[in-house]
Amino acid sequence: MKKLILSLSAILMAFMMTSCGDPTSRVKSLTEDIEKNGNDWTDEAQWDDAMVTIAEAIIDFANSDPDEDAYEDFKDAVKDCYTAVDDIDDKKAKKARDKAADKFDKNHKDLKKEMDKAEKILRKLSKKFEDD
């Protein structure tokens, strides 16, 4: 029962994060949540929801035609988020995180394709801003 409630809470949280604000704000909110609660996320579904949220934010950002300042802010937010994910200490939370990461590509094929396109756009933006 506890896992069901936690899973439903994580799904609700993911919907709330996806529906609010710009991609950078969503990533920052997710980062705060991971820093605060990530060690309690022992259910694979919670990590999967977080990974979907970050992937959707990256896709949305790449398609938003950002300027250099927005790009730098977003890049820093994503870096902070990945650091928060890596800084998880709880053994069960790490195991759940790693299982979700291993299954992500298989479980979200369409999202993975969109993510690959978004990453290509972001690499081009990075080069463009470095050249300016």
- Dist CA 96 CA 39 (whole Å): 10
CA distance readout (Å), 52 to 69, 111, 126: 25, 8, 23
Burial of 7 (0-12, 13-18, 19+ CB in 10 A): middle
Number of Cβ atoms within 10 Å of the Cβ of 124:
11
Domains of the chain: total: 1
The interaxial angle of helices 68-86 and 44-62, nearest 10 deg, is 170
**What confidence category does residue 129 fall into, taking pLDDT thresholds of 50, 70 and 90?**
confident
**What confidence category does residue 128 fall into, taking pLDDT thresholds of 50, 70 and 90?**
confident
Per-residue pLDDT at 20? 55
Per-residue pLDDT at 130? 84
Structural domain harbouring 51: 2-131
Per-residue pLDDT at 132? 65
Q: Is the pLDDT of residue 12 over 90?
A: no
Summarised one tens digit per residue, pLDDT across range 24-59 is: 999 999 999 999 999 999 999 999 999 999 999 999
CA angle, 123 as apex, 117 and 124 as ends, to 5°? 95
Q: Is the pLDDT of residue 92 over 50?
A: yes
Per-residue pLDDT at 100? 95
Summarised one tens digit per residue, pLDDT across range 53-90 is: 999 999 999 999 899 999 999 999 999 999 999 999 99
